[in-house]
Amino acid sequence: MKALTHWRHYLGWTKTPFTILTNHANLQYWKAPQKLNRRTARWHADLQEYDFIIKHIPGKINTPADELSHPPNSDQGANDNRDQTLLESKLFINNTAAQIPDSSKRNLMALIHDHPTAGHPGRDETIRKATEILPWTGMRQWIADYVKGCAICQQNKIMTHKKRIPLYHITTKEGTLPFQQIAMDLITGLPQQHGYNAILTIVDHGCSRAAIFLPCSDTITGPIPSSDRRTIGTKESMDRTIPPTSNIERPKGMDVLARARHHSTQ
């Protein structure tokens, strides 16, 4: 293919066919391939512009071609592979040290990370340089911690994302009993089921962090059903201070929760 491409301006679309002499017998059957891959299919498309005949000559008698490909003064390959390999020996031998002193690690960091010519590279680049010089077991984690603790790196680090506002934590007084201070909210937009389409959530903000889920309607404004009062009443005493986190009327909700313990003790 390379020869045809090189002489294409002479061999392409000729009036009479030309002959190709080769010692590769399989080329005689190129017009009747059994299975084509992408490369051979591309070759077949390129050969359509040539009119040629392939003639096979055994390699033993095809000496002119050998003279062209192997001139007398060229390397005949007699001295190939003088105990040499294509891959370096360090790729076959594990030179990773099990452990090295901390002083050696810090001296290495001073050379490849802290030095002005090093430029305080990032974690990955520092690991790559250390691997080329003195690798050891646990090197990646040690270098990652070292780069995180580098003051110069942290001062000049570019923030790629905005800082998020921390979530507000509802504080409780010391010694608060379970369900003495709670928060209420509604989960709405649920499909109708047994006359309910929402869930009332009651979360303890004391030590237990427990939650109660009661079925209700998104239009609830009045007292909690008596069956749900018994569920709430099984918990500890509840404070009358309830954060208004839902659309439930606050006075009615406080009265219901305050009466829950009274009903549970009767």
| Residue 158 near residue 220 (C-beta atoms within 8 A) | no
What tokens appear for 109 in the block? 């960091």
| Residue 154 near residue 166 (C-beta atoms within 8 A) | no
This prediction has a pTM of 0.30
What tokens appear for 14 in the block? 């000729």
pLDDT for position 142: 92
d(CA 204, CA 211): 6
Which value, to the nearest 10 degrees, does the dihedral of the CA atoms of residues 26, 31, 37, 41 take? 130
Q: How many CB atoms lie within 10 A of CB 145?
A: 11
Pairing of strands 211-216, 198-204: antiparallel
pLDDT for position 258: 36
Task: Provide the residue-wise pLDDT of the chain in tens; the chain has 266 residues.
Answer: 888 889 888 988 888 998 888 888 888 777 776 677 888 888 888 888 888 888 888 877 877 776 777 667 766 666 666 666 566 656 665 566 777 888 888 999 999 998 888 888 888 999 999 888 888 888 899 999 999 888 888 888 777 777 788 887 778 888 888 878 888 888 988 999 888 999 989 888 877 788 889 898 888 776 655 555 545 544 444 443 344 444 443 333 333 333 333 333 33
Name the helix (H) or strand (E) containing 129. helix 123-133
pLDDT for position 91: 65
pLDDT for position 183: 84
d(CA 244, CA 229): 19
DSSP 37-98: -HHHHHHHHHGGGB-EEEEE--TTT-HHHHHHHS-TTS--STT--SS--SS-GGGTS---BS
